[in-house]
Chain A
């Protein structure tokens, strides 16, 4: 055994985790090697000092700080939390935690049950209503359609009066209405229908056909800025020496909810100014690369082309 090996085994030797033969060999080496014996002595001394190292006294401010922190947390703790704090008064409500939760669960169940028994919906999805009273959507079961037809002309027969239909349609079918679909107010589908208005889907603007040149840019505009956005873009393009190739959109009667698209051709030098103007009209998504790096080439050299799609956000 050499000195390096001997020193690497000192911990195991003093922990008593070496096998007997190896321990005997190390002991023999230590007996015969003064340097390793010295290293062993200092090694043992270090371990002894460490074991006898007394704890430093904690600063006097530690205890008040801990107690203050605990008190603050206890004050803020919710009743029934799993925090310790057993040396403080248990919050009154937390003693009733389980009964209160159980009571809440029972109450919730009873409420849902009562609601199912008594609820009559206020509105029916318009898809099941045609312009004539008493007609139902073809998607409804035949039995329900027959039952409903018998109820004409007063409107859709209530589910409660027709147990068979009620079974097939379910407990949440709408309350009978005496008005027809035409009498419902209409509102664009892009707005939330909160008051039983008839929803009129808006046909999305037909996208302009893709060109082998230029770039498509989506501009998000606010509803209040939507109106006349195409005109502003066209005017900008003209002012910068470009031309408007095509405009699509404005299918929404209000002019605020629909998207639109406009294709412009510009001199290359006008690209930066044009994009700046687009950013004033709306928000150009960050994925559009900076024009300084990447100018989308137009159909002729020295021109750029953009197809700007307006999106109302």
Chain B
């Protein structure tokens, strides 16, 4: 960062190199499309380059980049939805209703996700399960459980109360648990 501020040649390239995997991963998991994710990640870094001089370092640079990424990805998803007239609604999560989680007995020992992980590539399984969450919950799960954002940070980013973030995250985690159970 300091190098960038001082105009050190190659400083920005070093920043991109250091953060491109996290930013691209986040975009890819949000958008479920490689080209879209590439475009979004490029936008994130371009936006960062435009505003990096104003970055005050109150949060970690990676946190700041992921915030930009979340906004960009949600914008892209909104644009997709508005462009696609016939897009099917996001599938209802298993066991989830407006009232909350419906109790379902857990599956057998073989259905446990940690057991499934032994036979499947966990990254692929998780990515597939994540892609089935609605985008409004997906980015919260990604930021909270994958990237380690606090509930307060997510609430500020989403402009919703912390309680809303917590309840949405809990519903999404329980949905992920159910999504992962029947994979086998």
A contact residues vs B (CB 8 Å cutoff): 3-4, 7-8, 10-12, 15, 17, 35, 38-39, 41-43, 45-47, 49-51, 53-59, 61-63, 65-67, 69-70, 73, 82-90
Contact A84 B4 (CB under 8 A): yes
Q: Which of the residues B10, B17, B28, B117 comes within 8 Å of A87, measured between beta carbons?
A: B10
B11 contacts across to A, CB distance below 8 A? 86-87
Q: Which of the residues A15, A54, A66 comes within 8 Å of B16, measured between beta carbons?
A: A66
Contact A56 B25 (CB under 8 A): yes
Contact B38 A65 (CB under 8 A): yes
Q: Which of the residues B103, B113, B148 comes within 8 Å of A7, measured between beta carbons?
A: B103
Q: Which of the residues B4, B25, B145 comes within 8 Å of A86, measured between beta carbons?
A: B4
Q: Which of the residues A51, A83, A85, A88 comes within 8 Å of B148, measured between beta carbons?
A: A51
Q: How large is the interface on B (under 10, 10 to 19, 20 to 34, 35 or more residues)?
A: 35 or more
Contact A45 B141 (CB under 8 A): no
A84 contacts across to B, CB distance below 8 A? 4, 12, 48-53
B contact residues vs A (CB 8 Å cutoff): 3-13, 16-17, 20-26, 28-29, 34, 38, 41-42, 45-46, 48-54, 100-103, 105-106, 112-114, 117, 122-123, 126, 141, 145-146, 148, 166, 169-170, 173-174, 176-177, 180-181
- B108 — nearest CB in chain A belongs to which residue? A38
A51 contacts across to B, CB distance below 8 A? 145-146, 148
Contact B6 A56 (CB under 8 A): no
Q: With A55-B25, A85-B49 given, is the CB distance from A4 to B112 under 8 Å? A: no
Shortest Cβ gap from A283 to chain B (Å): 35
Shortest Cβ gap from A15 to chain B (Å): 8
**Can you report 24 A-B residue pairs in the complex whose CB atoms are below 8 A from each other?**
A11-B173, A12-B170, A35-B106, A41-B114, A42-B106, A42-B177, A45-B112, A50-B146, A50-B176, A53-B126, A55-B25, A55-B26, A56-B29, A58-B25, A59-B38, A65-B42, A70-B12, A70-B46, A83-B50, A86-B7, A87-B4, A87-B9, A87-B11, A88-B9
> Considering the chains assembled together, what is the distance between the CA atoms of A55 and B13 in angstroms?
19
Which of B105, B148, B169, B170 has the most chain A CB within a 10 Å cutoff?
Answer: B170
Contact B23 A87 (CB under 8 A): no
The 7 lowest CB-CB distance pairs between A and B, nearest first, are A58-B24, A50-B145, A55-B25, A11-B170, A84-B52, A58-B20, A38-B106
Contact B113 A46 (CB under 8 A): yes
Contact A83 B49 (CB under 8 A): yes
Shortest Cβ gap from B98 to chain A (Å): 14
Contact B101 A49 (CB under 8 A): no
A15 contacts across to B, CB distance below 8 A? 166
> Considering the chains assembled together, what is the distance between the CA atoms of A10 and B176 in angstroms?
14
Contact A38 B112 (CB under 8 A): yes
Shortest Cβ gap from A68 to chain B (Å): 9
Contact A42 B112 (CB under 8 A): yes
- A59 — nearest CB in chain B belongs to which residue? B38
Which of B8, B102, B114, B180 has the most chain A CB within a 10 Å cutoff?
Answer: B114
B4 contacts across to A, CB distance below 8 A? 84, 86-87
Q: Which of the residues A41, A59, A62 comes within 8 Å of B112, measured between beta carbons?
A: A41
Contact A66 B45 (CB under 8 A): yes
Contact A50 B141 (CB under 8 A): yes
Shortest Cβ gap from B19 to chain A (Å): 9
Shortest Cβ gap from B110 to chain A (Å): 12
A43 contacts across to B, CB distance below 8 A? 173-174, 177
A58 contacts across to B, CB distance below 8 A? 20-21, 23-25, 41
Contact A57 B21 (CB under 8 A): yes
- B169 — nearest CB in chain A belongs to which residue? A11
Q: Which of the residues B17, B24, B113, B173 comes within 8 Å of A56, measured between beta carbons?
A: B24
> Considering the chains assembled together, what is the distance between the CA atoms of A67 and B40 in angstroms?
14
